[in-house]
Amino acid sequence: MARQWTRRQVLAQAGIAVAAIHTLDPHELCCAPGAEAATHEKDLFELKKVGDGIYAAIAAPAYKVNCNAAVIVTNDGVVVVDSHSKPSAARAVYKQIQAVTKQPIRKIVNTHFHWDHWQGNEVYAASSQSVEVVTTERTKENLTKDGGNGGVPFIAKQMAALPAEIQKLKDEAARASDAQAKARIESNLRQAEAYLEELKKMNPALPTRTVSATQKLTEGGREIQLHVLGRAHTDGDLFIYLPKEKVIATGDALIDWMPFLNDGYPEDWVTTLDSLERLDFAHIIPGHGEVAPKSHLAFFRGYLSDLITGVKKAAADGATLDDIKAKLPDQLAPKYERGMTKYPLGQFRDRIGLNIEMVYKKVVQKA
């Protein structure tokens, strides 16, 4: 049975969290200021068939972002990869799963520890005492310790930060003179208020099973491989591979918009993607964005590689961080801006400055 934290245990962290509000990253907490509030599960996710019994629950843009989920239907149950940012989102996907199969949920696999990929675990864990929550050993550790953009302590940090965010949205709504802008801000306000209420009631379901190296599972006659390939988006990324169907679910180690590097390992990330590329797959279910062909891996890896090379070369030539942030975006834009600006969130110009800063800190200064 999945281990769950009580609301009392979560709220007990809030006193510590108040002092740590400055660590919250706005790129992760609220990423789509133009998105309208979702009112129905189909407004939150679109369940798309990727293969026989394989579905991608593609998250719609939202002020309080959700991740995609991979849904794997077997002969005796369902495996779900990642559970989104909140229980209501997980319930929305669960309803869509029930529309294609009445099989019970057997396993939840968390690709990494970030808040928008695991905070819905409790919905699936509550559906049956036999549900397993599976992840890597490192991710399980990250879920229970303070630091980074996820884990149980991060729930309290979000609760501590949200009242100020809500008040800011109220002030913006009051000042808005344009009706369309006011409606958008009020929509975001409703999402923020609803999210805070969900956090207060959250009973986090933690992993019950971990892997430290690649493992093969046979679930209801279907082969599912769990690959631990190295550090990338985090130090505990897990890739879920279906060799027969040639489908891979990657979490945020491979997505369809700009990467978030704050908890990442830029140079390791490139070599991990090299290892991933050696697998024989045709379809990528990314952590965010639409289902992509295998060729997208080369594009995404190319951005990371060119970003690292550009920052290192500029620093070696004597450029300051501010110099690099002023010039490198325009140098990378012709090759990457269009492909990294498909959605109203995670766009090239919004994240390139932070990505440069993270590479400078993690690669140049570290060296």
pLDDT values of the chain reduced to their tens digit, one per residue, 367 residues: 455 544 444 444 434 333 333 333 433 444 443 333 333 556 789 999 999 999 999 999 888 889 999 999 999 999 999 999 999 999 999 999 999 999 999 999 999 999 999 999 999 999 888 999 999 999 999 999 998 999 999 999 999 999 999 999 999 999 999 999 999 999 999 999 999 999 999 999 999 999 999 999 999 999 999 999 999 999 999 999 999 999 999 999 999 999 999 999 999 999 999 999 999 999 999 999 999 999 999 999 999 999 999 999 999 999 999 999 999 999 999 999 999 999 998 999 999 999 999 999 999 998 7
Cα Rg for the chain, rounded, in angstroms?
A: 20
Q: What is the reported pTM?
A: 0.89
Say if strands 209-211 and 215-219 run parallel, antiparallel, or are unpaired: unpaired
DSSP conformation class of 114: B
Sheet-wide strand order for 292-293: 215-219, 222-227, 239-242, 247-251, 283-286, 292-293
- Tokens found for residue 307: 């970003």
- Taking the C-alpha atoms of residue 215 and residue 246, their distance in angstroms, rounded to an integer, is 17
Q: Residues 115, 150: contact at Cβ < 8 Å?
A: yes
The terminus-to-terminus CA distance of the chain in angstroms comes to 44
Quickly count: other Cβ atoms within 10 Å of residue 50's Cβ: 21
**17 and 38 in contact (C-beta within 8 Å)?**
no
Q: What are phi and psi of 342, to 5 degrees?
A: -85, -20
pLDDT of residue 4: 53
Instruction: List 109's β-bridge partners, or say none.
Output: 81, 134
